[in-house]
Amino acid sequence: DQQVKQNSPSLSVQEGRISILNCDYTNSMFDYFLWYKKYPAEGPTFLISISSIKDKNEDGRFTVFLNKSAKHLSLHIVPSQPGDSAVYFCAASAEGGGSNYNLTFGIGTLLTVNP
Amino acid sequence: DTEVTQTPKHLVMGMTNKKSLKCEQHMGHRAMYWYKQKAKKPPELMFVYSYEKLSINESVPSRFSPECPNSSLLNLHLHALQPEDSALYLCASSQFPPGGSNYGYTFGSGTRLTVV
């Protein structure tokens, strides 16, 4: 049973427009959420994160929104650029402390930004 | 140095072979991880080391044997693998305990393993 779900396997957007990638989770113990970006033949790269005590975190063109009641988060990229074309993974952690620090990943969404 | 280096990048091995995957980081991270990723699937956690001690083993078969010789190195020893073990093996490291703006893993580029 997937605890982190990315229901859109792919998304295509025009350059300069907004890209919105969605992620849902089922485990109410998750309290930290991250987005990773992955190019082919490379490992995932950390992009942006958000703690459950916040509902928004912004870093340049990237903003992550968290709706705890809906167990939903989204990543907004504005404006989208062709170099943003990659697979985006949503990940979550039940920080809790101690040694239980591991991330549960979604299946990923392939974003294609067309020039 | 802000990288996690994995070697080899590609590995083809027979079912009777013994091989090792290597991972190295010099960021002072005290937690290191092995993840396995199959095509069109999310990365799945295999092992976690914190302070060079194995803290999580996600019910991984014994044909996979991790080793953390020191705080910078993480190995994954492979023996008698099956074709279904073919996958991308990702190493990652992080601060431990996690926190602050550096919460998150730094991943290596992975080793693409094919078992024939």
| pLDDT tens per residue across span A59-84 | 999 999 999 999 999 999 999 999 99
The C-alpha angle A113, A23, B99, rounded to 5 degrees, equals 105
pLDDT at B97: 66
Biggest CA-to-CA distance, chain A: 46
Q: Find, in chain B, the residue whose alpha carbon is nearest to that of A5.
A: B42
Measuring CA to CA, how many Å separate A27 from each of A65, A98, B42?
A: 18, 19, 17
Quote the tokens at residue B34. Answer: 């092995």
Residue B98 is predicted with a pLDDT of: 61
Give the pLDDT of residue B57.
Answer: 81
pLDDT of residue A99: 44
Q: Per the CB < 8 Å rule, is B110 touching A43?
A: yes
A43 and B107 Cβ atoms separated by less than 8 Å: yes
* pLDDT less than 50: residues of chain B: none
- Paired tokens of B21: 């995957």
Whole-angstrom distance, CA of residue B91 vs CA of residue B73: 10
Contact B103 A106 (CB under 8 A): no
Most A CBs within 10 A among B2, B91, B103, hence the mutation to make, goes to B103
Is B40 close to A34, i.e. CB distance below 8 A?
no
A36: exposed, middle or buried (Cβ count in 10 Å: 0-12, 13-18, 19+): buried
Chain A interface includes B69 (CB < 8 A): no
Angle at A32 between CA A27 and CA A34, to 5 degrees: 105
Beta strands B73-79 and B18-25, pairing class: antiparallel
B58/chain A closest Cα distance in angstroms = 11
Q: How many CB atoms lie within 10 A of CB B84?
A: 8
Contact pairs from chain A to chain B, CB under 8 Å: 61
Residues in A closer than 8 angstroms to B25, CB to CB, are none
The pLDDT value recorded for residue A41 is 76
Using 70 as the pLDDT threshold, list the residues of chain A that sit under it: 95-101
Q: A62: burial class by Cβ within 10 Å (0-12, 13-18, 19+)?
A: middle
The minimal CB distance from A99 to the residues B4, B55, B94 is found for: B55
Q: A15 with A79: CB under 8 angstroms?
A: yes
Q: Which residues of B touch A32 (CB under 8 A)?
A: 98, 103
Among the partner residues B31, B43, B108, nearest to A105 by beta-carbon distance = B43
Q: What pLDDT is stored for residue A2 in this prediction? A: 81
Nearest CA-CA partner of A43 in B81, B62, B104, B14: B104
Q: Is A92 helix (H, G, I), strand (E, B) or coil?
A: strand
The confidence score (pLDDT) of residue B59 equals: 84
Whether A20 contacts A6, CB under 8 Å: no
Residue B82: HSE in the Cβ half-sphere, 13 Å Cα cutoff = 4
